[in-house]
Structures are given as C-alpha cells and as structure tokens.
Amino acid sequence: MSLAGFPDAAPLAGLAGGVLIGLAAALMLLGAGRIAGVSGIAARAFGLADSSLPRVGAWAFVIGLPIGALFVTSLTEASTPGFAAPVTLAIAGLIVGIGTRLGSGCTSGHGVCGMSRLSQRSLVATATFMVTGFATVAAMNAFGIGVLP
C-alpha cells in the first residue's frame, strides 16, 4: 500500500514493524521489568553503564537485534540498503554514543518507552533529537553534502 503524496513511503510495513517493536518493548517491561532502551542496554552489555539489568540479559538483548534482522532478511528478497562511508559512519557513531549517554536514551528508550509513558524527560528528549535530526539533514542538503550511495 502506498500513501497519497508520498510515493516512497511504506506505511503498512512501518506500522507492522512498529507494532513488533512495541511488543518487544512490552515483553521487556512486563516480563523483565525493564525499559527496552537500546543505548542503555548496549552500554550495560559492554560495561559502560551501571544498571540493575543483569549483564547476561543485556548481552542477550543486544545479540537478539541482528538475529531478528537476519530472520527478516532471510525471508524477504529486499536489496541490501546503502550505508554511509566508513569515516562518516565513525563520526556519526561517535556523536550518537556520546549523545545517547549524556541524554540517557535514544529513539527506543525515550521515543518508544518514555513517550508512551508520557515521561516529561522523554517527551523533551525526543522533541530535541527530532529537531536536531531534521536540522542536520536540512543543513547537509543545503550544503550539498550527500552521505548515502
């Protein structure tokens, strides 16, 4: 299904993916009693943050992410998406790592888990990273900086 006015959009696939992400986060919350915040769980797995989440659990969650992706790609015939050049990925990754630790979360912890709980901190954090994300892409486009192949 396509969306009028947005020929590239995949609303149904997006919604289906979103519902799965919500179910995964709900399983973490109602099953393990934790927030499914990827940046925090990753930091915990690699010993870069203190948390009451057992480290083995943090590792299990992180390892699950590519396993889930592999399931999907093995069942579909989508072409491999294009990624930015190594130096761009390194710069972006560094900024994401610093920002998510200082900001105590990312798209999953603040965006999915926090916003759905109407957490004031998460609403402000999500609005902030959305705005700087929009501004970053707008500025790069204005200067003609393309990063994807």
Partner 1 sequence: MIRETLVPLAAGTIFGAGLTIGGMTDPARVRGFLDLFGAWDPTLAFVMGGAVLVMAAAWVIQRKMIRPAFSDTFALPDRNDLTPRLIGGSALFGIGWGIAGLCPGPGFAALAIAPASAAIFVAAMLAGMLAVRLM
Q: Is 40 helix (H, G, I), strand (E, B) or coil?
A: helix
Question: In the bound complex, what is the minimum distance in angstroms from residue 101's beta carbon to partner 1?
Answer: 4
Is 62 in contact with 42 (CB distance < 8 Å)?
Answer: yes
Nearer to partner 1, 6 or 77 (CB): 6
Q: Of the candidates 31, 11, 9, 30, which has an alpha carbon nearest to the alpha carbon of residue 19?
A: 11
Question: In the bound complex, what is the minimum distance in angstroms from residue 26's beta carbon to partner 1?
Answer: 4
> Cα(36)–Cα(114) distance, rounded to whole angstroms?
10
Nearer to partner 1, 3 or 77 (CB): 3
Question: In the bound complex, what is the minimum distance in angstroms from residue 9's beta carbon to partner 1?
Answer: 5
Q: DSSP label at 3?
A: B
